[in-house]
Structure 1
């Protein structure tokens, strides 16, 4: 599959999302973040919602002819979508909307926009953020989060370790 075909498909799927669906996604993110440290929870929720809405609008506005028509690794895309399905743990309507939206936004960010799956303005515990040097993104948690539920392997970010080693 080519990137323009994927974008067309993602745009079509996004047409079915309403403001009510976005509110359900926020509700899910709020419930899912309940175990985060209180001083971090609100920032996390607001940052993720802002990025979600920014990406939502970016996809809607993006024209297929404005992107490079590159080959998409379909096995990698399939693996990402299957991984997103593993996020399910509550079986609520809010979670269903979150999963559905994640299956649109994450492939767009990873395969078309080539942007991090988390916003660069999100502060992770430890007061660290994703850093962009030139056209390369570096994530402080990339190596710490690789597991069968993580999407880190699909993210364009490199590990902070690579940033540190490039300074030596």
Structure 2
């Protein structure tokens, strides 16, 4: 069996269940200390955000880190279908660039957990990386409506080479200009 997500992505044939089993194995090695370091990084990284967004951002993402890692570790669902390995390879390249640019152990913990959560939500659950209810500057919120995930910043973020938005299942919220 392949040992890493990167090896599986390069193999060309990958089921959602194969990917799930591998990231579950990685998630089982995430400790509470890793989550605490990641939360500390998140808090430090958000220090220049406007207060009204910062508190919600930190709370929502800290909760998402705990919740999504728990969901991933305990997921017993059967997921049909294959993973688009070309899309997955592009996704992994963005994550690797982010990891190479990390400036601290705390940021590396954040990126390790964010990688697992992002892989899980994007390729297994087919949900957006940002949880529904995430608030963005300008008072805009990630929503689920009419069977679609509506993101208020997707189009703007598509130009950002470090953003995972181009891989996200959400669509631009057309009510946001």
- For normalisation by structure 1, the TM-score amounts to 0.89
C-alpha separation between the residues in 2 aligned to 1:72 and 1:154?
12
In the alignment, what sits opposite 2:115? Answer: 103
In the alignment, what sits opposite 2:6? Answer: none
Structure 2 counterpart of 1:38, from 51, 58, 79: 51
Q: Find the residue that maps to 1:156 and give its secondary structure.
A: coil
In 1, are the aligned partners of 2:102 and 2:108 still within 8 Å (CA)? no
Q: Say yes or no: does 1:23 pair with 2:36.
A: yes
Structure 2 counterpart of 1:68, from 79, 88, 94: 79
Deviation at 1:79, TM superposition (A): 1.3
| 1:54-76 superposed Cα distances (whole Å, 9 cap, x missing partner) | 1111111111xx22221101121
| 1:100-136 superposed Cα distances (whole Å, 9 cap, x missing partner) | 1122110110011111111112211111111211321
Structure 2 counterpart of 1:113, from 125, 128, 134: 125
In 1, are the aligned partners of 2:134 and 2:141 still within 8 Å (CA)? yes
Q: Say yes or no: does 1:92 pair with 2:92.
A: no
Q: Say yes or no: does 1:48 pair with 2:61.
A: yes
C-alpha separation between the residues in 2 aligned to 1:115 and 1:90?
26
Q: Say yes or no: does 1:143 pair with 2:155.
A: yes
C-alpha separation between the residues in 2 aligned to 1:85 and 1:37?
29
In the alignment, what sits opposite 1:80? Answer: 91
Gaps of 5+ in 1: none
Q: Say yes or no: does 1:58 pair with 2:88.
A: no
Q: Find the residue that maps to 1:86 and give its secondary structure.
A: helix
Question: What RMSD, in angstroms, separates the aligned Cα atoms of the two structures?
Answer: 1.5
Runs of 4+ that moved beyond 2 A: 66-69, 85-91
Gaps of 5+ in 2: 1-13
Q: Find the residue that maps to 1:20 and give its secondary structure.
A: helix
Correspondence list, 1:120-131, <5 A = 120-131=132-143
